[in-house]
Chains A and B, each alone.
Chain A
Amino acid sequence: MSAFTGITVDREALIANYATVAEQVAPAGVIAVVKANGYGHGAVEAARAFVDAGAEWLGVADIDEGIALRRAGIDEGVRILAWLHAPDEDFRRAAQWDITPAVSSVSQLAAAADSEVPAVHVCVDTGLSRNGAVESEWAELFDTAGRLLRGGARTRVEGLMSHLSNASRADDLDQDAALQRALDGLAANGIVPDMVHLAASAASIAVPETRHDVARVGLALYGLSPFPDRTSADLGLRPAMRVTAAVLRTIPVRAGDGVSYGYTWRAEADTRLAIIGLGYADGFDRALGNHVSVRIGDRLFPVVGRVAMNAMHVDIGDADVRVGDEAVLWGDPASGDPAVEDWAAAIGTINYEVVARVGRSVERRTT
């Protein structure tokens, strides 16, 4: 029996995390964010789990991601919000597939109305300087929305959204104040959106004032912590992604032997290496070698030498490790697996990037 090489997503953990988050942000609701292939977990399976846990809204970056969910059978009882659009997007696909666009400009709002999209959310920039309308554009944007409303357009402004910088609590509250100005501006044009949303994972936990009607939560739903100083367990979350690989072979090496490209690691004493078939093409950085460990059985063993395109080396010494054994790259530290945060720290980045970058080349299964 040989171990599975790929990602195993714990559906029960996704469902439990959703319940934990939903309870924490209540009475605010949750938009479950499944962009970027569900933060690497598999968008469709993640979406199904969150829907089964009670999610009424899913969030994606672009309309194509939303269409992929619809094609996979996420039906129209579940709303899908998309906020990043191609320059000449005409929103007919959004209307056809029942994707609700968030619009950031007068031209996007007009195009959505022309395509008779039933509802839009207006996306404003309150400080992050990303894809919302900046405050100097609000008057024209809100005026256009008001005229559409009064003109009997089929498109209504259902929501108002912005995104936080997480720079500091004070900065986040400044953004919240800006959002209030946007709400006032819409109200002056006769628009009172049903759904105001600002907070994502971090602020929905740390800055409760920013929750409004609904929180857009991604990372926390996958069981990961958005804070460098708080673990998943601290937040009552369970990491849902477990990455494992079968040992392809074991190789004895002698003291002084170099390993992998560039011989960035040399054996200090006679030892054995286990080879596993995941590499940088699968999303595991070249630079991870010599900085992370995998779990085999009940022990941790270091990854040594450069990670290659499709393989990495593990120094197993004289441990009883055999071909087909399971190496765990990361999983739930509560069960003794390495934490994805260790892999992120080893290359100077955050857990978000490490999970989102595991490629489609890696098989995914759900338990």
Chain B
Amino acid sequence: MNAPLRRAEIDLDAYRANLDLVRDWMDPVEVMAIMKADAYGHGLEPIALAAVDAGIRWIGVLTVPAALRLRAIGVGEDVHLFTWQHDPALDFRDAIDSAVDLGVSNAAELQRVIDAVDQRPARVHLGVDSGLHRDGATADAWPELVSLAVAAQRAGRIVVVAAYTHLAETSDDDDSAAVAVFDRAVETAEDLGLDVPMEHVAASLAGLERKEFRKDMVRMGGNLFGIPGADGVSAADLGLEPVMTLTASVAKTKRVPVDTGVSYDYTYRTATETTLALVPVGYADGVPRLAQGRVEVAIGGKRYPIAGRVAMDQFLVDVGDDEVQVGDTVVLFGTGERDELTVLEWAAALDTIGEEIVCRIGSRVPRVYEGHDVEGRVGEYLRGEP
């Protein structure tokens, strides 16, 4: 159909351009492309294949099941897949057999990995909690983790690939303090007889702003999707392009008289006789109820505010006397090329960050892939070819 109810256009050219730009900035430091949460809502498999086509050799996917999805579609072992959040009930055998890199946070977790080793040694990254208090070992627990790793590596059960941490990105001083914690942990590890071949610390924001934090590899997520995290910095300022554009088709227009109540509770009333256009995207699709009165959508190059409550499947806009027709494209957010808001502008209007907006776009919204990369392995995948 030419005018689908709703869709998220995923521009693989933009992703590729962002990847090239970020790798250029980071050169010679390695870039790990982060694709957790279904590639921030963009669709894991196509994004991963596009990145692999572009030469990426490190991908971060958070969980083992996500990594195994990529191995299953032919992402080979020349591409390292880093995972770091593991369900306590997870059996690590498949991950180890498929050479999935495992971030571990404490000795108990590492012991579970070691116990799952059969033939191949497990590839392990040792996590340091440097202040985010989410994953990684605290300073007290770190020596036990390292000692176990040293013993297991000597026994041929594991290969220690790296030490890593996550930064809280609260302030420069806090991040500096966190990196100092990490550096001390690496020294401790070396004192305990561990050779640390690789260190990765910085994610998108710190990777850009704090060159000294880049170490051996930078984990890049938001930047690659055109969603930089720094306050007051737009994607365009950095030369990044938003990858996702959320669109819908006007499903209905209606002429209504003055003082017509609109949507639940009649929180909006028309100021004059006017035309209302129905946009078939609602809070179940990721447009929050709170968006009422805060964001605008673009139709035919003009911005319109949301009129009345956002419902589960739809909302309305008041288009006045403008010529808006059923089937017209409504751009909710995107690059700005069609005069729409960018995802960062949406996020600012909703007091949140761009990542939350794109991750939230629901499964009823089909992802439609565009860009020259559809010629590569990602193209074969999207066409269902082997």
Contact = CB atoms under 8 A, between A and B. Distances in A.
Interface in B207-255: 249-252, 254-255
B385 interface: no
A86 B4 contact: yes
Given A88-B327, A281-B41, A310-B36, A130 B284 contact: no
B2 A310 contact: no
A51 interface: no
A115 interface: no
Interface string A294-305: 000000000001
B250 A359 contact: no
Interface in B279-329: 280, 282-284, 286, 288-290, 308, 311-314, 316, 326-327
SS of B interface (majority): loop
A84 B286 CA distance: 17
A323 interface: yes
Interface in A259-313: 259-263, 273, 275, 277, 279-283, 285-287, 305, 308-311, 313
Interface in A1-28: 1-2, 5
Contacts of A361: 37-38
A286 B288 CA distance: 13
A85 B6 CA distance: 11
Which applies to chain A's interface (DSSP): helix, strand, loop or mixed?
loop
A112 to B, nearest CB: 15
A167 B261 CA distance: 9
Contact of A166 (B88, B252, B264, B360): B264
Contacts of A133: 254
Given A129-B263, A252-B140, A262-B168, A281 B251 contact: no
A249 B105 contact: yes
Contacts of B286: 357
A89 B252 CA distance: 12
B335 interface: no
A78 interface: no
B261 A127 contact: yes
B289 A350 contact: yes
Contacts of B36: 281, 309-310
Residues of B in contact with A, size category: 35 or more
A104 interface: yes
B262 to A, nearest CB: 5
Given A86-B5, A130-B263, A167-B264, A324 B351 contact: no
A311 B169 CA distance: 16
B132 interface: yes
B85 A261 contact: no
Given A131-B314, A263-B168, A311-B85, A286 B356 contact: yes
Contact of B252 (A64, A104, A313): A104
A225 interface: no
Interface of B: 1-5, 36-38, 40-41, 62, 85-89, 105-106, 108-109, 129, 131-135, 138, 140, 168-170, 174, 249-252, 254-256, 260-266, 276, 278, 280, 282-284, 286, 288-290, 308, 311-314, 316, 326-327, 351-353, 355-356, 359-360, 362-364
24 contacts: A36-B282, A36-B313, A64-B364, A88-B3, A105-B252, A130-B314, A131-B252, A131-B278, A165-B263, A246-B88, A248-B85, A248-B88, A248-B135, A251-B138, A252-B138, A260-B132, A281-B36, A281-B41, A286-B356, A309-B37, A311-B134, A324-B88, A349-B288, A356-B283
Can you list the 3 inter-chain pairs with the closest CB atoms, starting with the nearest? A281-B37, A36-B284, A87-B327
